[in-house]
Each structure stands twice: as structure tokens, then as C-alpha cells.
Amino acid sequence: MTNPICDFLDNYRDRSQLRLHMPGHKGVGGMGVEGLDITEIEGADVLYNAKGIIRQSMDNATGLFGTQRTLYSTEGSSLSIKAMLYLAMLTRGDKRPLIAAGRNAHKVLMYGCALLDIEIDWLYGDSLLSCNITPDALEEYLRHNDPVAVYITSPDYLGNMADIKGLAEVCHRHGVMLLVDNAHGAYLKFLPASQHPIDLGADICCDSAHKTLPCLTGAGYLHISRNAPEYLCDMADDAMSLFASTSPSYLILYSLDRCNSYLDSVLRQRLCDTIPCVEELKQSLFTVGDEPMKLTLDAKKYGYSGVELSELMTEQGIVCEFADPDYLVMMLPPDKEAVISVISALLYIDRRAPIEDTPPALKCLEKAMNPRQAIMSKNEPVSIDKALGRVLGAPSVSCPPAVPIAVCGEVIDQSAIELFRYYGIDKIRVII
Ligand SMILES: Cc1ncc(COP(=O)(O)O)c(C=O)c1O
């Protein structure tokens, strides 16, 4: 595996020369990374018009993921999702700009749809963070509706994986594209049997390389399937450019380039070695989700909230990914030693009587306007106690998991207030 970006940057860092180009640190400074941090100078290629080192590196990634084309993002899945929506709209012909999306989508879906003036039909599931849309339910929806694309988040934040193969078959039977937010699942390609959405039939998907691969924060991919129309590959640079900064981070590109060697050489074996340990551990615990490398504890079954469990883990030197009243989410590395540390930490936690309460139900709210109209309107913060009857202006949820409790443009009712309170949100932004 070649590493053309790393080779170029290593070489550039080691040359003794005065840099009279951007960035302003001129390659020197106290962080220690400045030497590698350049901009699109001569020889360094141009991210979304790549013909040199970036092109070679992205071609390597394309080969590793087995796609028609894989592009790098230095702005995470947030950028790739907007580009993916734009690309889907190019296929729409005379169809209405409508997307059907699982309701547990990350808020960037809403931003992308607002910017591109796309309507969203929400497909509701069992809870806020999980949305188990079955092929049968999708079939029923598509019999009566004609969206341009279906948008599924899989794996979700808790590690639930959708039946992408079944959903893709249904979509394609109806002539509809399947877009997958695979932000949490870049590594799924390298399982003994790939569970990557592109291999299961998705047309386009995004991965946050930084979430599950050894890449810097912000590193991501946009993948286009070999089965998708060729012109999507031709348009993909424009799609990314529409939303991206014109100053991509070369540190992030360096990490993506280096990651290709890791994907090519060690990841498969490490996953093979670690997954049986994780599976064994999961059998002895109350967990949710079927994503192999995510360990999500059903905290209340142990008599704790997820947040309390997270604090107990932190006391033992383990900082988890996410905790809420119900769950504690751990994103495991492909490393048996880390799994053993988790096992030892969990052994220290005393079990208590299970907590029986459940989260307030996620209800379908009245829609006063669409997300675009809402996001383009002036809004103000209000305390959740004073929000009854007001129209949500901004998602008002932060990362993680950034799944909107109410959708922008919906009228806040008592059930939404209870849900905001349950997740500890005491202020939301409503339209003035
Ligand atoms: C499901 C999901 N999709 C998209 C995103 C956005 O990804 P990124 O942070 O790589 O931009 C996130 C971030 O947490 C996410 O959890």
C-alpha cells in the first residue's frame, strides 16, 4: 500500500526552507505538528479536483472499500451527508424533492435538507435513538409514497444495525436510492464477512473514519457504490465542494492516507482476534445493539442510570463514549487488552435492584412548517417550562448523540417537553 500524502508531507516537513505561504504558523510552533500542516500548495494536489497525491490516496481507499469511488472528507460525515443528499437530488428527474428518513437521524440531515430545500417524511421506530425500520414497513411506505431516496442511520448511536440488505432490495424494487449514514461503521467493511452498507446494497453512504478508525477527528469518507449511476462519481467533487471549506486539513488527510495501510494490513486480523472476546463479554451482560465493536449497557437493569455507570467507569480510568438516563455506550478498539480492562472495571460495580421506569414515548408532533422554513427563521432561547405551543427553530440538541427530540418546525407539546426534560435539556430555541 502506498502512502503518497504521508510521503509528500514528511518530505516537505524535513526540507529546510522558508514558507511564505499559508498557514500563518509557517511550519513551526509549539504544537509539534505544524511542519505537516500545509495548504493546497504546488505538488500537494487539490482535494476536490484531485489529480496527484490525493487522487492516488483516494484511489487506494476506493480499492480498499470496493466502491465505484471513495472520496475523503476533512469535515467528517457532516460534510458527506450534505453531499450525499445533493447527489441523491440529482437523480430525481421530475420527482418532488422528498427524502424518507428514519427518525433517529443525526441533526445534520435536517441541516442538509434545509439547505437543499428537501422535504422529509419521517419513518418512526421504537424510540428516539433507535428506529427499527423493517423491509416490510418500508415496502408499505413505498407503496403509497414516492421519495427520491430513503435515508437510514445504521449503526445507530446505541449500536443497532438495520437490515440494510433487505431495505436496499425494497428500495431498488421501487426505483428509489438508499442512502446510509454509516458514521459509526467504517470498520464494518473489514469484518470477516463485510457488513459495510455499500456491500449490503446501499447506493451512497458516509463513514466517519475518525469514529472507529485510527484517524484524526474530522476524517471521513463518502462512498459511492459500483451499482450507482456513473455520473454520481463525476458529480461527487462538486457535491463535496458545495459544502466544504476550501482549506482542507492536511493533517487529517495525512491520517486518512496512513489509515489505508492499517486497513490493508492489520485491521482484519485485529477484529478477528477481538470480536470473540467482545461477544463472550456481551453474553454475560445486559446489552443492546448488535454492532460488533460497540458495547452498550442497559444501565437500568443494573440499578443505575447510564450517567451513573459512566461516572463509576471514569473513577476506574475508563472514559466512555456516551451516557444518558438509560444507556452507557462504549466504543471498543480492536484490542483484547482494552476488552479485558472493561471486564475488570465492570466487576467492581455492585449490582442494584433494577430501575423500572422507561423514557417518555417519542410522539409524532404537529408540523407548523418544514425544517427549511424553521431553520431560516429567527429564533430565541426559551426555558423548556415556557415552550408549550411554540415552534422549534433549531434542533437544540448537542453531540452526542445529536438526534433531534423534536424536528425544526414542529409545535412543542407536553410530550416533547417531557422528553427534553428527560434528556436534561432545559432550554430550546423556538421561532420568534
Ligand atoms: C449517526 C451520526 N451521523 C453523523 C454524525 C456526524 O459525523 P461527524 O462528526 O463525523 O461530522 C454523527 C456524529 O456524531 C453521528 O453520530
Q: What is the CATH number of the domain that holds 423?
A: 3.90.105.10
Centre of ligand 1 to C-alpha 255, Å, is: 18
Centre of ligand 1 to C-alpha 183, Å, is: 5
Domain of 291, CATH number, reads 3.90.1150.150
* Domain end marker among 347, 362, 394: 347
Centre of ligand 1 to C-alpha 48, Å, is: 21
Determine which residue's CA is closest to atom 10 belonging to ligand 1. Answer: 76
C-alpha 188/C-alpha 181 separation (Å) is 13
In a domain, residue 110? The reply is yes
**Region at 218 (left for phi over 0; alpha for psi -120 to 50; beta for the rest):** left
In a domain, residue 36? The reply is no
In a domain, residue 237? The reply is yes
* Domain end marker among 204, 231, 265: 265
Centre of ligand 1 to C-alpha 116, Å, is: 19
Decide whether any atom of ligand 1 lies within 6 Å of the 291 Cβ.
Answer: no
| Edge-to-edge strand list for the sheet holding 149-153 | 69-73, 220-224, 204-207, 177-181, 149-153, 98-102, 119-123
260 and 276 housed in the same domain: no
278 and 258 housed in the same domain: no
* Ligand 1 mutation target, pool 108, 152, 296, most atoms within 8 A of CB: 108
Q: Report the sign of the C-alpha dihedral through residues 123, 126, 132, 137, in that order.
A: negative
In a domain, residue 215? The reply is yes
Centre of ligand 1 to C-alpha 395, Å, is: 15
The answer, yes or no, to whether the previous bond of 381 is cis (omega within 30 of 0) is: no
103 and 236 housed in the same domain: yes
pLDDT at 398: 77
pLDDT at 28: 96
Decide whether any atom of ligand 1 lies within 6 Å of the 159 Cβ.
Answer: no
72 and 201 housed in the same domain: yes
94 and 226 housed in the same domain: yes
Decide whether any atom of ligand 1 lies within 6 Å of the 220 Cβ.
Answer: yes
C-alpha 423/C-alpha 325 separation (Å) is 7
281 and 300 housed in the same domain: yes
- C-beta of residue 223 within 8 angstroms of C-beta of residue 207: yes
Centre of ligand 1 to C-alpha 319, Å, is: 19
Decide whether any atom of ligand 1 lies within 6 Å of the 199 Cβ.
Answer: no
In a domain, residue 357? The reply is no
Mean pLDDT, consecutive 10-residue stretches, the chain (432 aa), reads 98 95 96 96 97 98 98 98 98 95 96 97 90 96 98 97 98 98 98 98 98 98 98 98 98 98 98 97 96 98 97 97 96 97 94 93 93 96 97 86 93 95 94 96
Give residue 416's domain range: 371-431
203 and 312 housed in the same domain: no
- C-beta of residue 406 within 8 angstroms of C-beta of residue 412: yes
Centre of ligand 1 to C-alpha 218, Å, is: 10
E strand or H helix at 115, and its extent? helix 107-116
Give the length of the chain.
432
Decide whether any atom of ligand 1 lies within 6 Å of the 122 Cβ.
Answer: no
280 and 256 housed in the same domain: no
Centre of ligand 1 to C-alpha 78, Å, is: 6
Cell numbers linked to 312: 463509576
Domain of 236, CATH number, reads 3.40.640.10
Nearest atom in ligand 1 to the alpha carbon of residue 156 is 1
Decide whether any atom of ligand 1 lies within 6 Å of the 153 Cβ.
Answer: yes
107 and 187 housed in the same domain: yes
pLDDT at 127: 85
In a domain, residue 15? The reply is no
174 and 245 housed in the same domain: yes
In a domain, residue 54? The reply is yes
Cell numbers linked to 322: 456516551
259 and 392 housed in the same domain: no
pLDDT at 379: 97
How many domains does one find in the chain?
Answer: 3
Decide whether any atom of ligand 1 lies within 6 Å of the 104 Cβ.
Answer: no
Angle at 382 between CA 419 and CA 81, to 5 degrees: 65
> Quick check: pTM over 0.95?
yes
Closest by alpha carbon to 173, among 151, 206, 201, 131?
201
C-alpha 269/C-alpha 143 separation (Å) is 43
In a domain, residue 7? The reply is no
